[in-house]
Structure 1
Amino acid sequence: MAGFANIFSMMENTAPININVGQGYKFLDENSLTTIECEEPFVSTLQSGGKSYADEIKEQEEDDWKKQMLRLQAASLSDCVSIPDSTMSSIHLEDITTIGTHAAPVDDLAEDENYSQFDWKKKTQQVLPIDAHKSQLLKLVTNHVVSIIKGATGCGKSTQLPLYILEEFKNKRKPVQIVVTQPRRIAAVSVAERVCRERNWRVGDLVGYQIGQNKVASDYTKLLFCTTGVLLHRLVKQKSIDNINYIILDEVHERDKDMDFLMIVIKKLMRSNAGKTHIVLMSATLDSYKLSKYFSHWSQSAGSFQSARIHNITAHHPHVIHKFFLEQFQSVEPTLYRKLPTPSLSKPGITSEQYQYVCSLVSTFDRLEASEAKKVCGSVLIFLPGIHEITEMHSALDEFMKSHNHNLSKLKKPQIQWKVFVLHSSIPKEQQDLVFSRPPPDMRKIVLSTNIAESSITVSDVKYVVDFCLTKVLTVAEGSNYSSLQLEWASESSCQQRAGRVGRVSEGRVYYMITSDFYNQLPVEDTPEMLRSPLDSLVLHAKMLDMGEPVHIFGLAMDPPDIGNIKRTILSLKEIGALFPTSNGEYRDDDGDITFMGEVMSSLPVDPRVAKLIYLGYIFNVLEDTVIMAAAMSVKNPFSSPYREEMDAYCSKLIWADSTCSDLIAFLNLYKVWHGEKARGFFDRSRGPSEKMWARQNFVQLSSLREIEKLVTDIMNRLRHHEMRTDPENVPADHERPIILKIIIGGAFYPNYFFRGKESGQIDEKDALKTLGGHDPMNTVYLRGLPSSQLNLVPLYANEIKQHMTFCPPSDMKIFADSRENDGLKKIEEMGLANKKDGGAHSAVEGGSLLKPGGVTRYINIRIIYVENLSRFWAQNTDRHHELVDIHRLINIPENLVSLPNGGTPPRIGTVCAAPFSDRKYYRAKVLAVKGKMVLVKYIDYGNEKEVPLSELRLFGPTLKDEDLSIRKPFAFECSLAEVTPSIMLDHHGLWSPQAIQWFKDNFLNSMRALSAEIYSIVDGIVKIILFDSDFDTHGDPVNKKLIDIGYAAFIEEHYRSKLDHDNRIRELFCEGLDDIEDDEADLAAGADYKDDGRKKITVSLVGPFSPLETSVYAPVQSVCMKPVHIDRESVNCVLLDTEPQDSHQRLLVSAFATANATSEFLKVRETTLMPNIPGLPALLCLVFAPQVELRADKDRTKVMGALCGLGYRMSEEGKFEALYAENDMEIAFDIQIPLGSDPS
């Protein structure tokens, strides 16, 4: 941790900083660098290299395999001298190495005892299509090294074929090991459970499963279901398939990255396996011919490579499925049909007319079933590409239902109610589970789903499928390493899968929202994931496999990726430290030796950059925290965002983030609270709310939390293999941990850095104040869209606007109109959202300040009487102390006070009366709230608040009439120390630390010493002061500076309104008396008491609310420096407000993931973290975590002005400097001065 302390000593040090330039740093002779501009779009140096490289690789691989097999044949013949030549020619290589010959010797009787422990009788009499093919399939998979089985969904291939093989070996009393892969975790578990349920076996005995490190198996297990990734990790680690008899790859058609790479690995390992392991490939919609050619293998008898054998399982669907294309149901709404757009292969999308047409289509289902006298309404499944389209479709259905049912009610016809459900990955599991419920007979269930319902989730009662034939896929943006979510037309294969969702319990209907001609133009299969997504994890697997260079390995894929994508991935891995720049000591742009960090990354089931977060967590000894954050980023979002409850969900997420402005720390806080409460039994029904209720209240997905828990255990177990554990002797202090975590986040996700600044359209504070007509940007928002002609009718709209602003209590809201804007700019001041104050908070300026009775002065003598923190404390002017003593004496004369009227009727809010304090003496107090028999009051001459019994309040009697104590100005005024802010090193929330508050109280609260305050400004009734205490500091330095010197505070510029007031005071030579300061709140309140007189004539659509403090960020990385940056709506930083607009230092937002939009016009960032506002921190993070840095000096070489950060450069053959990874180079200007040392060389 010493290194971490040294890093931050640089930021806290106020002395000049000297940097000695060493390895990894280089100075270029550049002029002073102040801003970074990207004038032209960046052109990638890594252009697409095509896929032709793979042809030569595959040809060479086949030739090597052939030679190897011929050598093996020769060796086998020399060892088998007892076999006559006449018979040897008829023996296949597959027959020489029969099933099980490679397994450890097992006594037949012992093996028979293992099998005999289990009941082999089938518990269900269900006949499946695959049963008729049993003998053929067993012969196929036994006699051939590679077999391909194509069968429709539901034919039984996933459950029955593994059982056929297992039973065959049981009958022969032979040992066997069968591994079956599934593309999804849920499928691996559910298939294993289904197989065991069919034979009444316990899961984990003869049949088990493994997902991640969660393995439910035993020594008896002979059939293991697992995810594709589990087998891939196992084979990469073992580099052998010899201990497995059968590898069955199910759902091969999905072609995700792991599946394609697993097939590469199996093909490589088959060369050394000599046919001892049998490979079975299964799917419902695969291109069997293409797969057969890919898995061709050497046949000794034929003396050539033979394609894999194929077997088709024909199955008849139990119910008829009718399919209709758009032209076949145009009679649904002929007029609207003619308005439907002609679909375009290059421009996929959905128009409003198409949404409306589907609504009319669903309505025809009502009439169709009414004519058929159906008692139950068939459910409708509508496939849509994403959540935006789901929302649009939902809105269209809602509007249609309202108008349609209204018409039916006028005609007195029976109505069928529609109940809409949503299936999407962002929807909580509890909401998703509702789609499986059975609706009442007079209600139709309509399910709006993405392709999640294509295969992962089955809704059995679906009778109608409406398919827009669209999907969204993650694709690497051309010429970059950024991925994007592209809207594309679905493949015929996917459309067939979707059509298979109907006809399970009755006949079904499928309606395609495209014509049959256009359907025939759709691609036959989906684009394999390997061709369109990042390859980081696979490149690391290729390095760990150690069977050739990455390009060579990928060249063996069924559909090889573009070589440019491979090279770009390798450069990216070098940038994050997973690969060395060189391979065997020589620089290669298509290869690099793997580092220890790369080995760790390869072993973890998370993205390499997320794995780097874990690695840095180990270095800084916060390993467990980073593992939790990494696990949360690798599963479905643990925060739920229920449909149409997004705002409440967002507010809940802000609470979990705990003012850190970090999605990752929000994940961490959530998991720790849930895990801790669960451990102490908080969710036991007898002691607290149920776990489900707690999750609903906090907008949390329990299923995701449980997945995180399993993944955390999985990752920690894997890390132990690398001897990576937390050091209990060197744990960071609690106040250090938040800042350490943010620094680690910055290191893990370099170069996903995004800066606040004018380059991204940042508004300055003066413009913000102008936008709001001089009102405080910290608590004012505005709406646009009100016509100018309506400005005089603003009172009519006040109450309605308040109703829509549900996040702010109407009583705390004030509304006014600004006629200077042509569009009728509306502004709302949210009194109470920022720096919430009660009615007496501005007591220093109520009706004029009483800081000093008459006269004008820059300094006043004060006594600090009440402290909340250093930005909010109350003081009294000591020159008026005698007045306060007189008032206190008068109040405490019993005959001067009277009891409340009518036996204790509560006074109105805002009434000034007399209230007792703990010393039983009475003081002036303002009523803030009444709570039953208790009253919350504020002691206006001292600043503090207290609850007192209603019965103890007193009103001022007639004898005090001449004193006017109820309207006499308060003696206490609210103060704040000027030009200081809390040290972020002591409190990551940006609040004053307990140490700083206690130090201030100990030295200045109720001090009898003379304190002098220089008035810096007075804004909103708060007096900004620079505090002096000659007895405390003999050098004359202000207390403000002392706080900075001892580390409790940091310097910060005052905000614009404060500086403006300060400048006015200086300019007018103190002519503005303190008694003349008017309360801004009175001006703002001028429009607060509008009353609605019922004259509502028109409907006005306002846009907003907006804040001038909303800020945007820009990316300094070369390849995307001109692109706008959008923060994902699920992030706590999706509305990024600049709370310190007066501070010109750089602010840094770090994103774990950045993707381009479909057209690569902008970047979308998610899992974001806003770095602390520490001057120089962005520059420091770049210097620490960039692989190479070139420092930019000013022309006199006296100080560092900026740096070029990136992977570095090399000398080309032409003798020119050539950037290694120019796309990700970033040039940054420093916002702090860093003087050069005496020897910059």
Structure 2
Amino acid sequence: IGALSAKSDGTGQNDDGELTFLGRVLAHLPVDLCLGKMIVLGHIFGCLDECLIIAASHSQKSFFAIPSMQQLAGHRSKLAFAQGAQSDSISFVNAFKAWHSSKKKGQLRHPKDELDWGKENFIQIKRIKEVAELYEDLKKRVSQFNIHVPQSPQTLDYTGAHRQKFILQVVIAGAHYPHYFVQGEIDEDLASRELSGFNPRTTVMVRNLPPYSFLYYKQLQSLFRLCGQVKAISFDSSRAYVEFYRTSQDSGVLPEVSLALLLPQQSAPLELSVFPIEQIEILAEGRSITHMKAARVNVDFQNQTVCPVGVVSGAVDPEKLPPNHLFVVNVTEVVEVGHFWGFQADEASLAKQRRLTAEINSCTLQPVTVSLYPNLLCLAPYSETNEQNMYYRAKILHMRGTTVEVFFLDFGNTGVVSCSGLRELPPNLQSHPFQAQEFQVTAMRPSAQSIILGNQWSSRARDRFITLVKGRSLVVSLYSILHGVMRVQLLIDTETSNTSAVDILVEEEHAMKAEESFDSKQNHEIIMSLYKDMERGTYVPNAASSSWNDRKREEKEIIDDLLTHFAKGRHSKTKVNLYGPHSPNKISFYSLSHRTSYKTVCIERSSINSLALNDSPHYKHQRMLVAGSVSVNATGTRILLRETTMMPDVPGLPALLTMLFTPIMELRTDEERTCYTGALCGLGWYGQKQEGILAEHDIELAFDVKFDVEDITEINALRVAVNRLVCEGPNGTIHLGPDRISQLQEDCRDRLIRLFTKSPPREEGPQVFFEKPEKWNQVDPALKMDIVEPEGGKTGRVLFQLHSVTLLNS
């Protein structure tokens, strides 16, 4: 914890050290020691208010209401309050602030209004008021130590808000050292096969479906109605893959997928009412339909079609490929850095666009007669400045009173139009393929700087990418097509040469180069061999034989007949229980501490991270989870984690955090002492035993990025800056004025951000495991350089000792 100043470096001294400033504060706080430490770290790093809310919330029963009959709605509310941060603590902060802000504005003046707000947001008002009381009490108690919440907190812009969120996540991690866990690796190939190539961000899998499973697609859709809007269901033997509509531009795992994975935890099992097989087969009227028992069938809810699968999933349709893998794209809408919409800008494609526009605007257009709803296809007006309105094919995205936001299906841009301006899309104009295409840039991911200062991408990275591509015609090279999105290498025409967009973003430290996923690499090979065959003239179109086409037509007729028949009247039914929903990308965690790494790690059901998915298993660096509370079962085989926070996906972050907050650290090097390979972190050791003082909490790190002496120096410099804010004596915290405290806090915050956003970024590398794990005192004293604490270290009562540096051969 750091409440005592005992130093354990093998000298065998008494463990009873003196109370540090942190120890004196903890003695006055009626909360768990780790939560008290969080409050002090919150003061140091300028996020005291948030830490007081977390400490008060975790010290009482949870104010989130998750009723047994409304588990999904309760969990959805908690996810919404987390605002994209995979953290229980942050969801408490945002919910508390929302309630507190509504009260201050006078919106909850009457008890009924407050109770209604609580019901709507699944917040228990009585409990949140108890948290508010404890919050005020803690605020008063820490003020005795000259620790104050700023009276008028500054309003933060996009960058400032994300910087603050990252600092808070680091403080949460620092308070709960050593409760650190990392995610286990997922076999990308196996996960892709198990999900049959579907997108793990939008799709879940259900098993144990009965024969002729396509007959029950409406029942299956209704089982997921509380999770979100189902886009499609693909049946394959006894499995079904349920895909949800993407409801926001965020490219991560959909909340709908997380909610679907909660369904098995509900008391009522997922079940279908099914017809006896004999009854189904009697209806065949002499036709053989047994081959349809395990048929592969796709249900598309947007187009309202139920069709047998004609082509093997993952296969590429050459008709939909551009004539050449190099082609020109007109960029119309930037979704995010490296993600945009556009249309092919070659002469043939532009001529097709002109013909289609002329055909639409020469028709007599009728107003839309049906009630408007999201995903409805229609015609919408659009005009450039001072030009006449023309109509184009569009899809409704969002309803906004008398206006709607639409997506133009042949261009890729969006617009807001009045509801009265929409026109019906005639059936003959629906059959033409939509011309707009979604693109993603290959082989890059956000840099640490982009992740920390933005929600994946910083506003600077976004502005730079928009400047590079928006409204321009650019050359792209097709790499692969995944889930309907073209993954491309994007070339930017600069004054001197054609440069890859990735190289520009990497050079400016907005992005870093990354591996493509297993599915993307496989698809790339198929596409490249197709282009080679077309180039050589050896490509033979896979024109299906007439007998195969006849068979598919017959299967479609059987499906339609059976669906029509069973939609009428009553038929005897039996119940079948389904297994799932499930995702092969669900993360399993293991402890960073070697003594407990063999134990099974479970996360409490109510935690946001209990159903966390790894949507990028091709990134092999460690990703870290911090637990606020850890308990072990009676047999000692399982660990249960509560109040969890998933740390940002920054390479090297688990090692940096551990080295930053560990009391004592001993660096590991390779045999030649040319580089650091890891570190042993903990409380140090006794005498000559080389065993740790509290060995079960020791963490043996094997670095997955390259650290050097400069990094250790930066960590020490940050520890010195922290010590200045929590020291005793005449220059101690209690005697500092508000301006000096603010200055020291900003110094700590700046150093923290610089440590994690090093320029140039640290290189990733393979982990090298030390041959004597968890053994202390493995460094020759002659090669160890002790670092002396400047000025305030003389008293010995500091929060952090400075790490010794093991000298390397140059």
Report the TM-score, using the length of structure 2 for normalisation. Answer: 0.69
Aligned to 2:139: 716
- Contact 1:618 / 1:724 at 8 angstroms: preserved in 2? yes
1:1028 corresponds to 2:495 = no
How far off its partner does 1:1002 sit?
Answer: 3.1
Query: In the alignment, which residue of structure 2 is the partner of 1:886?
Result: 354
Q: Do the aligned residues in 1 keep the contact of 2:397 with 2:407 (CA within 8 Å)?
A: no
Work out whether residues 736 and 985 of structure 1, in 8 Å CA contact, stay in contact via their aligned partners in 2.
Answer: no
Where do residues 251-266 of structure 1 align in structure 2 (5 Å cutoff)? Answer: none
Write the letter of the residue equivalent to 2:476: A
Whether 2:570 is the aligned partner of 1:1101: answer no
Pairing 1:1177–2:653 present: yes
1:342-353 equivalence runs, <5 A: none
What is aligned with 1:1061? 523
1:691 to 1:888, Cα distance in 2 relative to 1, 3 A: same
Q: Could you say which residue in structure 2 is the equivalent of 1:1227?
A: 700
Given the alignment, which residue of 445, 453, 473 partners 1:981? 445
- SS of 1:744 mapped into structure 2: helix
Kindly tell me: are residues 810 and 1217 of structure 1, through their superposed partners in 2, closer, same or farther at Cα, counting changes over 3 Å? closer
1:270-669 matched pairs, under 5 angstroms: 576-581=1-6, 587-588=12-13, 591-669=16-94
1:868 aligns with 2:332: no
Name the SS of the counterpart of 1:1231 in structure 2: coil
SS in 2 for 1:1139: coil
SS of equivalent residue, structure 1 residue 735: helix
The Cα of 1:722 is off from its aligned counterpart by: 1.4
Which of these residues, 881, 898, 907, is aligned with residue 364 of structure 2? Answer: 898
Q: Please point out which of 904, 926, 942 is paired with 2:411.
A: 942
Match runs of 1:134-145 below 5 Å: none
> Are 1:814 and 2:233 an aligned pair?
yes
- Aligned 8 A contact 1:1198 1:1236 in 2: no
Mapped partners of 1:602, 1:722: distance in 2:
12
Structure 1 residue 1148 displacement after superposition: 0.4
Find out whether 1:693 has 2:112 as its counterpart.
Answer: no
CA distance in 1, matches of 2:161, 2:72: 32
Give, in whole Å, the separation in 2 of the partners of 1:1076 and 1:670.
Answer: 58
**1:935 and 1:654 mapped to 2: Cα distance?**
26
Alignment partners' CA distance in 1, 2:517 and 2:118: 41
Q: Which moved more, 1:991-1000 or 1:648-657?
A: 991-1000
Shift of 1:1162: 0.6
The alpha carbon displacement at 1:587 in A equals: 4.5
Q: Which residue of 2 aligns with 1:314?
A: none
User: In the TM superposition, what is the alpha-carbon distance from 1:948 to its structure 2 partner?
Assistant: 4.6
Work out which of the residue numbers 495, 500, 511 in structure 2 matches 1:1038.
500
Say which structure, 1 or 2, has more relative contact order (CA 8 Å, 6+ apart): 2
DSSP 3-state at the match of 1:1219: coil
Inter-partner Cα distance in structure 2 for 1:1048 and 1:689? 49
Q: Does 1:737 align with 2:164?
A: yes
Matched residue type, 2:171: I
Question: Does residue 254 of structure 2 align to residue 828 of structure 1?
Answer: no
Instruction: Kindly state the Cα deviation for residue 622 of structure 1 after the two structures are TM-superposed.
Output: 1.4
- CA distance in 1: counterparts of 2:529 and 2:318, whole angstroms: 22
Asked if the contact 1:861/1:877 (under 8 Å) is kept, the reply is yes
Aligned to 1:1140: 616
Deviates most, 964-973 or 872-881: 964-973
Asked if the contact 2:233/2:240 (under 8 Å) is kept, the reply is: no
Structure-2 residue corresponding to 1:795: 214
Residue in structure 1 matched with residue 307 of structure 2 by the alignment: none
Q: Structure 1 vs Structure 2: percent identity of aligned residues?
A: 30
1:867/1:1005 contact within 8 Å kept: yes
1:922-947 Cα shifts (integer Å, max 9, x gaps): 24304548989977654222112445
Q: 1:949 to 1:654 in 2, by over 3 A?
A: closer
Kindly indicate whether the alpha-carbon contact (under 8 Å) linking 1:1210 and 1:1218 is maintained by their aligned counterparts in 2. Answer: yes
In structure 1, the residue corresponding to 2:609 is in which secondary structure?
Answer: coil
Aligned residues of 1:747 and 1:1185 also touching (Cα < 8 A): yes
Pick one of 800, 804, 828 that aligns with 2:223: 804
Structure 2 CA distance for partners of 1:882 and 1:994, relative to 1, 3 Å: same
Task: Give the drift of 1:878.
Answer: 2.1
| Letter of the structure 2 residue corresponding to residue 981 of structure 1 | R
Residues in 2 aligned to 1:838 and 1:928: alpha-carbon distance in whole angstroms: 15
Counterpart Cα distance in 2 of 1:734 and 1:638? 25
Question: What is aligned with 1:769?
Answer: 192
Deviation at 1:590, TM superposition (A): 5.4
Q: Which amino acid aligns with 1:828?
A: V
Question: 2:471 corresponds to which letter in structure 1?
Answer: N
Equivalent residue letter for 1:708: V
- Alignment of 1:1164 with 2:640, yes or no, is yes
| Gap runs ≥5 in structure 1 | 1-575
Deviation at 1:912, TM superposition (A): 7.1
Aligned partners of 2:645 and 2:370: how far apart in 1? 52
Alpha carbons of 1:644 and 1:969: their partners in 2 closer, same or farther (altered >3 Å)?
closer
Task: Give matches, 1:772-787, under 5 Å.
Answer: 772-786=195-209
* Matches of 2:531 and 2:593, distance apart in 1: 49
Does the 8 Å contact 1:1148/1:1178 carry over to 2?
Answer: yes
The answer to whether the 8 A contact 1:581-1:587 is kept is: no
- Report the secondary structure of 2:651's partner residue: coil
Q: Is the 8 A contact 2:229 2:245 kept in 1?
A: no
Range with greater deviation from structure 2 (644-653 or 918-927):
918-927
Structure 2 residue matching 1:616: 3-state secondary structure = helix
In 2, distance between residues paired with 1:592 and 1:680?
Answer: 49
Query: What letter corresponds to residue 443 of structure 2 in structure 1?
Result: E
In structure 1, C-alpha distance between the alignment counterparts of 2:583 and 2:413, rounded to whole Å = 32
**TM-score, normalisation: structure 1:** 0.46
- Give the secondary-structure state (helix, strand or coil) at the position aligned to 1:1159: coil
Deviations 1:884-921 (A, max 9, x none): 5632673476xx211329x9678999897754214443
Provide the C-alpha distance between the structure 2 equivalents of 1:1077 and 1:697, rounded to a whole number of angstroms: 55
Secondary structure of the residue that 2:77 maps to in structure 1? helix
On the 8 A contact 1:849/1:1075 being kept in 2, the answer is: no
Q: 2: CA distance between counterparts of 1:661 and 1:981?
A: 19
Distance in 2, Cα, partners of 1:869 & 1:977: 11
Structure-1 separation of matches of 2:346 and 2:671: 57
Aligned residue for 1:1112?
588
User: Which amino acid in structure 2 is aligned with residue 722 of structure 1?
Assistant: F
CA contact (8 A) 2:623 2:649 kept: yes
Shift of 1:1210: 2.9
Conservation of the 8 A alpha-carbon contact between 2:178 and 2:697: yes
Q: Per-residue displacement from partner, 1:61-112 (whole Å, max 9, x unpaired)?
A: xxxxxxxxxxxxxxxxxxxxxxxxxxxxxxxxxxxxxxxxxxxxxxxxxxxx
**1:908–1:1122 CA distance, 2 compared to 1 (3 A):** closer
Instruction: Please name the residue that 2:808 is paired with.
Output: 1240
Q: Any conservation in 2 of the 1:908–1:927 contact (CA below 8 Å)?
A: no
State the number of aligned residues.
Answer: 624
In 2, the alpha carbon distance for the partners of 1:848 and 1:915 equals: 31
RMSD: 3.9
Whole-Å separation in 1 of the counterparts to 2:190 and 2:353: 47
Asked if 2 retains the 8 angstrom alpha-carbon contact of 1:937 and 1:947, the reply is: yes
Alpha-carbon contact 1:934-1:950 (below 8 Å) kept: yes
Distance in 1 separating the partners of 2:372 and 2:625: 50
> Does the 8 A contact of 1:851 with 1:971 survive in 2?
no
SS at match of 1:898: coil
Verify the 8 A CA contact 2:325 2:531 in the aligned structure 1.
no
Note the C-alpha offset of 1:1184.
1.0
